[in-house]
Amino acid sequence: MYQQKNQRKQRRRSRGMTLIEIMVVITILGLIAAAVGVAVIPQLEAARRDRAALDIKNIQGAMKLYYAKKGKYPDTASGLQALVEAQALEQMPKDPWNNDYVYVNEGGKPVIVSYGADGTAGGEGNDADISSADGAATANK
């Protein structure tokens, strides 16, 4: 009799976790994932804006190299591709939102712009433009 009770206890212990225990674990994991998501997502957007500002500064450096070689900046029609052809840049960079950087040369003053998360001119927050015209200062707005 004592052996039968002992064997039943052994079988119960070896069955594993109950449905309630599994649901509690899943709930806890969900709460942890939500807390991490709330903390990480804003940082990710700020990092993208910072990367765009750094990319613009790197492109400006390539512009200076191009100017030293050619004596002028590329025209708007040639765009940033002229920097690649002159080997001032290895390849055409994309902004962190996978859009092309926009290049405009009006009156000999080159301007490089990323249109932000929405990919269109203007916007606020993460959609705001990041431009070399303001020293990429809008990257932190």
Query: Residue 94 belongs to a domain with what CATH number?
Result: 3.30.700.10
pLDDT at 136: 54
CA distance 30 to 39: 14
pLDDT at 107: 79
Domain membership flag for residue 123: yes
pLDDT at 41: 83
Question: Would you call 75 exposed, middle or buried from its count of C-beta atoms within 10 A (0-12, 13-18, 19+)?
Answer: middle
pLDDT at 109: 86
User: Taking a C-beta distance cutoff of 8 angstroms, is the pair 92, 78 a contact?
Assistant: no
Domain membership flag for residue 121: yes
User: Taking a C-beta distance cutoff of 8 angstroms, is the pair 103, 79 a contact?
Assistant: yes
Domain membership flag for residue 38: no
pLDDT at 2: 59
Q: How many domains, in total, are found in the chain?
A: 1
Amino acid code (one letter) for 73:
Y
Q: With a cut of 50, which residues of the chain have pLDDT below it?
A: 137-141
Please give the radius of gyration of the chain, using alpha carbons only, rounded to the nearest integer: 28
pLDDT at 115: 93
Domain membership flag for residue 141: no
Q: Which domain holds residue 79?
A: 44-136
Find tokens 């040369």 and name the residue. 105
Where does 2-139 show beta strands of DSSP type E?
102-106, 109-114, 130-131
What is the widest separation between alpha-carbon atoms in the chain?
100
pLDDT at 42: 85
User: Taking a C-beta distance cutoff of 8 angstroms, is the pair 89, 59 a contact?
Assistant: yes
Domain membership flag for residue 24: no
pTM of the entire predicted model: 0.70
CA distance 20 to 41: 31
Domain membership flag for residue 62: yes
